[in-house]
Amino acid sequence: MACSTAKSLTLLESLSIDDCEMIQEIIACEGEEIQGNIVFPKLKYLELSCLPSLASSSLAHHLLEFPVLQIVKVKKCPKMKNFCQGELSTPRLEQAHLTGDEDGELQWEGDLNTTIKHMFDEM
């Protein structure tokens, strides 16, 4: 989705993206001038599943804010090296379900970017 679209999703509470071989990033900001942060003020649940080409949720260098995000599930995303390239704020998130298979074990390395990088390094 475009940055402008992402910024308009202020009421989004749950997002699940599943089974797409082509998707490389969730928020694409190429050619867009970004003013301010991208904030998902009500998003509590995020699941990314079976996305073999996904490298990052966003390759742009901007601040992504998820003030109430509580659950993140990432499975079968073997190319994902980090959650985003820019800064990330997830103050309520303290664990993530990350796995290369269906088991979804809980992991937490202090923040979401570090947790995903750690998962990638182990694979």
What's the burial of 55, exposed, middle or buried (CB within 10 Å: 0-12/13-18/19+)?
Answer: middle
The structure tokens listed for 35 are 């003013």
The answer to whether residue 79 is domain-embedded is yes
The confidence band for 111, taking pLDDT boundaries of 50, 70 and 90, is confident
pLDDT tens per residue across span 71-108: 999 989 989 888 988 889 999 997 788 775 555 567 77
Q: What whole-number percentage of the chain has pLDDT above 70?
A: 88
Please give the residue range of the domain that contains residue 96: 38-122
The answer to whether residue 10 is domain-embedded is no
Q: Which helix (H) or strand (E) holds 27?
A: strand 25-27
The answer to whether residue 80 is domain-embedded is yes
In the chain, how many domains are there? Answer: 1
The answer to whether residue 1 is domain-embedded is no
pLDDT at 15 over 70: yes
Q: Which helix (H) or strand (E) holds 54?
A: none
Length of the chain: 123
